[in-house]
Amino acid sequence: RKYSGLDGYFFLRLIRMNLRICAVTSFWAMLVLVPIYATGTNQNGEKGWYHVSAANVIDGSWRMWVPSVFAYLFTGFIFFVMKQEYRHFLELRMDFLARGSSHVNPQHHYSLLVENIPYDLRSEKALYEYFDKLFPGKIHS
């Protein structure tokens, strides 16, 4: 965060989150789904990778419930991980908006763009005096 800012930091967090989701899902898929698929009855005589896929399971078999439950559980897991990351994002974002960062001039956090200025206020002195009347003692430049 110190060198790349929040955008770069959260891009790396996104990659980390995706790696975490894929690693956990792959581990449990290998542990649960592959044995369920591999022990199915191969009625069509497929060879190769079909032995460890849903093609190896008979339609209407109880084994087809396992991938369905697996999908619901891991959808919940993905939402849980995303919620954790979103909370982390909100913490850092609120902290950044409240304090800013050390390499950015604090004045930039409080600057405004004013458009459609009347002609009589288009000099620096006139505009300063106008805003100083509205916000006494709070105008920097």
Average pLDDT value over all residues in the chain = 85
Name the DSSP class of 31. I
Model confidence over 7-24: pLDDT tens digits?
888 999 999 999 999 999
| In the chain, % of residues over pLDDT 90 | 39
What CA–CA distance (Å, rounded) separates 54 from 65? 11
Tell which residue, 31, 15, 20, has the closest CA to residue 70: 31
Paired tokens of 93: 């974002």
- Whether the CB-CB separation of 40 and 63 falls below 8 Å is answered with yes
Task: Please indicate whether residue 27 or residue 6 has the higher confidence score (pLDDT).
Answer: 27
Model confidence over 22-63: pLDDT tens digits?
999 999 999 998 888 888 776 666 677 777 888 788 888 888
